[in-house]
Chains A and B, each alone.
Chain A
């Protein structure tokens, strides 16, 4: 196996075209994950529990490759009636009525299998090859054949025979099945398959997270790991896992400073934040984090540095109002990426973030807030990997970033800060706080500023119509 050792930013994957000798999935991102698409003339298993999107994924492949001289054949066995398969595919944008019956052929062999047994499969495939000369063959479900076989020996013989036939003829095969992880060790088809991809689904709160994963792809490199996807009207919308970039050996942090846009803070930081550095801005609710972060982004806009604000907390109208108040005419130039925390999916947000960075030459990024990203995934290690990869991508590209994090209560030392990996990944750590009962006093403290002489004292801040300022 040639697995994926190379760092590839998510954004770069979207521009990858299907390679010669490859079968496109109909989605450039998925093709890129597969190293350019499925290698042609191979046998591939698409596994996953019911409802994970297997059939849709493979039908998308069929329609993406249909229209040539040789058709694609889709055999249904005993998992889902043909009528259902055909009815649901029509809901997707890739479906093309004009291809049915000529370039895309459906055939229900369930009744014959039930009557004659699994031994009928190879003669039926052979007959189809002779009469239709298919470039693609799909069997859905292949796993169902196990339930019809009289013995393990009979099934093994069938798999040997199917493999022989599909290898003899120039066709690319997709065997769909509701396989479990343990089936990989026990079912012979996994040994003969050239490619295995898994579609999975995990509940997260009131919604599900779906993942696409390549388990095996002979003769091809591929992007390892779980890649989030959604099923949309266009089929599978896949977001490649963010991979940590290699930091060039020649990499040197930029020495110059960028102004924060918060009056008084640049003096505490010896002139501003180091260009290309990452900053964690922590504090309780109401301490001024969002305003501070917006000021930082807008200061970039004023200095001709395109800035992006990723926000999960404020509602878009409220956020627009705040930006307008702080920025005036500069407001229109700030790029805002809003996502509801309820629908937030970390992979899609990161993917979109990188698309915008690349497309707009973004130099400053604000993420408000990290806690929402943490809530968007059920796997803490996944968040860790994402944040690490994200901060490294920003560093390598010289983008100065601010991540906000909401603390539960007061903190003057950051020792009780539970911001996860970002707290030690960030170059700078700034704490905002609120004190007092009768009279509220807001404070700021630069707890860490890597490689920068900084004021370590607690200072008072005030929040007025123009934003946050250090007094």
Chain B
């Protein structure tokens, strides 16, 4: 467990799929992070303003406010623009994620070591892509 994880850094996850939610929570908590969930983009925006998570992980396909719009709104607000955003989606939309201001992108399905390593890099302030998806 690294230093950031040992402080139980908070990660806000925006995800509808119950299986993805459960697995993300399990692997992130196992890596030492605290996890909160939002089921839609609007709720996520509200929670981000209140909880100030270190990282927000969002699927693009979420209700009310999609993940890309959510990212743009977070980055447009001085109070939340410091939150690192990881777009974790079934869509191959790395370019659009970058345009929206996301620090990182991962393509589903979930593979715990890739997810945890990406989160670690974001928390360490090294958002430069290293995983296979970002390198493409």
| A binding-site residues for B, Cβ under 8 Å | 41, 69, 126, 129-130, 133, 164-165, 167-171
Are B23 and A169 neighbours in the complex by a CB distance under 8 Å? yes
Q: Which of B20, B108, B109, B112 is in CB contact (< 8 Å) with A133?
A: B112
Q: Which of B14-51 contact A (CB under 8 A)?
A: 17-20, 22-23, 26-27
Supply 16 A–B pairs (Cβ within 8 Å), ascending by A.
A41-B109, A129-B23, A130-B26, A130-B27, A133-B112, A164-B17, A164-B19, A167-B109, A168-B19, A169-B23, A169-B109, A169-B110, A169-B111, A170-B109, A170-B110, A171-B109
Q: Which residues of chain A come closer than 8 Å to B109, judged between CB atoms?
A: 41, 167-171
Known A-B contacts A164-B17, A168-B17; A130 and B23 likewise in contact (beta carbons under 8 Å)? yes
Are A169 and B19 neighbours in the complex by a CB distance under 8 Å? yes
Q: Which residues of chain B come closer than 8 Å to A130, judged between CB atoms?
A: 23, 26-27
Min C-beta distance of A20 to chain B, whole Å: 10
Q: Which residues of chain A come closer than 8 Å to B108, judged between CB atoms?
A: 168
Q: Which residues of chain B come closer than 8 Å to A133, judged between CB atoms?
A: 112
How far apart sit A242 and B128, CA to CA, in the bound complex (Å)?
49
Known A-B contacts A41-B109, A169-B110; A164 and B18 likewise in contact (beta carbons under 8 Å)? yes
- B111: nearest residue on chain A (CB-CB)? A170
Q: Which residues of chain B come closer than 8 Å to A126, judged between CB atoms?
A: 19, 22-23
How far apart sit A168 and B23, CA to CA, in the bound complex (Å)?
8
Min C-beta distance of A159 to chain B, whole Å: 14
How far apart sit A168 and B109, CA to CA, in the bound complex (Å)?
5
Min C-beta distance of B91 to chain A, whole Å: 14
Min C-beta distance of B134 to chain A, whole Å: 16
Are A168 and B20 neighbours in the complex by a CB distance under 8 Å? yes
Number of interface residues of B (CB under 8 A): 14
- A41: nearest residue on chain B (CB-CB)? B109
Q: Which residues of chain B come closer than 8 Å to A164, judged between CB atoms?
A: 17-19
How far apart sit A130 and B19, CA to CA, in the bound complex (Å)?
12
**0/1 interface trace, chain B 110-124, chain A, CB 8 Å (1 if under):** 111100000000000
- A126: nearest residue on chain B (CB-CB)? B22
Min C-beta distance of B26 to chain A, whole Å: 5
How far apart sit A164 and B22, CA to CA, in the bound complex (Å)?
12
Interface-central residue, B17, B19, B112, by most chain A CB under 10 Å = B19
Q: Which residues of chain A come closer than 8 Å to B110, judged between CB atoms?
A: 168-170
How far apart sit A126 and B110, CA to CA, in the bound complex (Å)?
13
- Closest CB pairs A-B (n = 9): A168-B19, A170-B111, A170-B109, A168-B20, A165-B19, A164-B19, A130-B26, A169-B110, A41-B109
Min C-beta distance of A90 to chain B, whole Å: 31
In addition to A126-B23, A168-B108, 15 A-B residue pairs with Cβ atoms within 8 Å of each other are: A130-B26, A164-B17, A167-B19, A168-B17, A168-B19, A168-B20, A168-B23, A168-B109, A168-B110, A169-B19, A169-B23, A169-B110, A169-B111, A170-B109, A170-B110
Q: Which residues of chain A come closer than 8 Å to B18, judged between CB atoms?
A: 164
How far apart sit A91 and B108, CA to CA, in the bound complex (Å)?
38
Q: Which residues of chain A come closer than 8 Å to B22, judged between CB atoms?
A: 126
Q: Which residues of chain B come closer than 8 Å to A129, judged between CB atoms?
A: 23
Q: Which residues of chain B come closer than 8 Å to A165, judged between CB atoms?
A: 19
Q: Which residues of chain B come closer than 8 Å to A41, judged between CB atoms?
A: 109
